[in-house]
Structure 1
């Protein structure tokens, strides 16, 4: 619930969306893009000597900072998506901005995880 001291983006009162829909959308995005891609990418990078990371930005982050750089990039993308959902989507009651980022990350995460699994097999 919102209070007089709490910014509007911190609660879902008078919004077209609910906390439940927000939570489930981001659970799926985190599971596929966050967990699935991270686990399969780490398996490829560290346990399959003849394969490397194809994304040049991720490859540079790993070269410079190791696995922590890779995780930092993942968190940056996830937090940016959550920010878009809350500030652009919820604040403007725009379903495309609200559900678009988690949907996009879920689709990308599922595709990349499946691709990585195919490379591992």
Structure 2
């Protein structure tokens, strides 16, 4: 079994890595989760559009939603770290946090529009 190497500082700055994932966490983890929970609990005529998320929320409640979000987040984080440590692939390093940030921002705004409109 090969040991993990340290994060390659010549590849990317550690502060940059943290900020990328702080944005992803804020948009995807906090914004989307809070607006989704607000909509599904307090707005009776709005239902979750993603069938997997709807089933998770219906079956397990908040825990189901958070578990799916954490699973997606952990998978994207693993891909980003693998790209930096093993593949030396800058595109794949940046792609997961950027995609999570964009998706989270889009659905947060969309959910707020549904909530307010």
| Counterpart-to-counterpart distance in 1, 2:24 and 2:74 | 11
Q: Deviations over 1:64-119 (max 9, x none)?
A: 11110000000000000100000134322211111100000000001000000000
Please name the residue that 1:49 is paired with: 44
TM-score normalised by length of structure 2: 0.92
The corresponding residue for 2:80 is: 85
Is the 1:12–1:18 Cα contact (8 Å) retained in structure 2?
no
- Residues 1:88 and 1:103: Cα distance change in structure 2 (over 3 Å): same
Deviation at 1:15, TM superposition (A): 4.0
Kept after mapping to 2: 8 A contact 1:33/1:109:
yes
Alpha-carbon distance, 1:17 to partner? 1.2
Confirm whether residue 118 of structure 1 aligns to residue 101 of structure 2: no
Report which structure shows greater RCO (CA 8 Å, sep ≥6). 2
Partner Cα separation in structure 1 for residue 10 and residue 84 of structure 2: 10
Q: CA RMSD in A?
A: 1.6
Matched, 1:109 2:104: yes
C-alpha distance in structure 2 between counterparts of 1:14 and 1:59, whole Å: 41
In the alignment, the residues of structure 1 paired with residue 80 and residue 48 of structure 2 have an alpha-carbon distance, to the nearest angstrom, of: 29
Q: Distance in 1 between matches of 2:107 and 2:61?
A: 20
The aligned length equals 115
Q: Which runs of 5+ in 2 are unaligned?
A: none
Q: State which of 4, 8, 12 in structure 2 corresponds to 1:7.
A: 4
